[in-house]
Amino acid sequence: MLRAYAEAENVRQRAEREKADARKYGIALFARDLVNVADNFQRAMASVNDTVREDGGEAFANLVAGIAMIERELKAAFERNGIREITPSPGDRFDPNLHQAVAEVPGGIVRPGHIVEVTQVGYTLEDRLLRPAMVLVAGEAPGDAGPPA
């Protein structure tokens, strides 16, 4: 009888955990789609420099301001729902749990195994990785092959 009670209690606790996980992570697929929208907003804002803004006139400036407002609102919605950006800086140590190495470039200014450039920011949903940050990682500098084997 005690075993049956313990088994029933385990099933109840497992169901509670699954319910909490579904509530917490149920938006993961939707969030992955919205992350791509956020990337496009970032690309749009990055493509417009100060010279283009000045030459475009008032209507163009209003369009750029509108895009910036939408991007801010999207990021605020991300924060409210537990979606956070992974934005490593050049020189940070490469973490395979958060970053994906797109390429390895010869070392030089940055130590081997550290980030040289971020090509795409990553995102987490609560404590789970939604998408890793895409980075270029420094390798060994030419001539730093180490001692012969």
Q: What percent of the chain has pLDDT over 70?
A: 94
- What pLDDT is stored for residue 149 in this prediction? 42
* Predicted confidence (pLDDT) per residue in 1-24, tens digit: 899 999 999 999 999 998 888 877
Chain centre to alpha carbon of residue 68: 19
In the chain, where the domains are located:
1-81, 82-142
* Predicted confidence (pLDDT) per residue in 107-121, tens digit: 778 888 899 999 999
Average pLDDT over residues 61-89: 90
pLDDT band at 33 (very low <50, low <70, confident <90, very high): confident
Cα torsion through 38, 43, 45, 49, rounded to 10: 170
3-state helix, strand, coil in the chain (%, to 5): 50, 20, 30
Whole-number Å distance between alpha carbons of 62 and 30:
30
Q: Is the pLDDT score of 92 beyond 50?
A: yes
CB atoms within 10 A of CB 136: 18
Whole-angstrom CA distances from 110 to 18, 51, 79, 139 are 43, 32, 32, 9
- What pLDDT is stored for residue 94 in this prediction? 93
- What pLDDT is stored for residue 148 in this prediction? 47
pLDDT band at 143 (very low <50, low <70, confident <90, very high): low
**CATH superfamily, domain at 82-142:** Head domain of nucleotide exchange factor GrpE (2.30.22.10)
